[in-house]
Structure 1
Amino acid sequence: MRNSRCLNCSAKIKYKYLEDRIVGECDVCGFKISLQINDISLNRLAEYWIRYRRVKEILEGKVKHKGRDCWKVSLIDSEGKVKLTQYIEVGTGQVIDEETYE
């Protein structure tokens, strides 16, 4: 996605940024891509998965955070304790803020 190229044939793709996902379709080969952007970032998810093995992601909905519309997503361990909360900007998928609880 960073270089806006099709994963199948390497032709240019124009992506559409929707509220909760990014979608694109290759005009050359017809390959379709849809990425959900209201999830915990993969590097943080992997870090906590290695530490706790059983983690669960909970989307708590749209909230205003630092003046922006954001998705509030929490990561919960097997005991039901919140370990991480990320605020992800609606439409871009950019992590605005992160809170950790140890």
Structure 2
Amino acid sequence: MERITVTPPNAAENAVRVFLSGSTGAAVIIRPRLGGDGFAKPMWVGDIFAWGSDHQGIGHNPTQTGGYNSKLTSHRRYELPGAVWADINYSAAEPFDIDIVG
């Protein structure tokens, strides 16, 4: 597992690229910084565009899932099986961490 820290340049929509293993267990965990009450200031994760080693999309984008809630106040895992890189669109006013697993 690798952890990176993302410091947003502003509170608007931004993107960060992460590199993954390409395995069936590839995933990212978005970790907003939790406060003393166990919750974070809200942030949003929108489209996640992920690609495999053949430069083809792997077909997973959480915003295309019915009932998807883009607002995060705690940690959330996104499964990206077969992905070797992904662009994660987010909106956050404070730094947060991304764990790259798999």
Query: Structure 1 length as normaliser, TM-score?
Result: 0.27
1 or 2, which has the higher helix percentage? Answer: 1
- Structure number with greater CO (CA < 8 Å, separation at least 6) is 2
Of structures 1 and 2, the larger Rg is shown by 1
Q: TM-score, normalised by structure 2?
A: 0.27
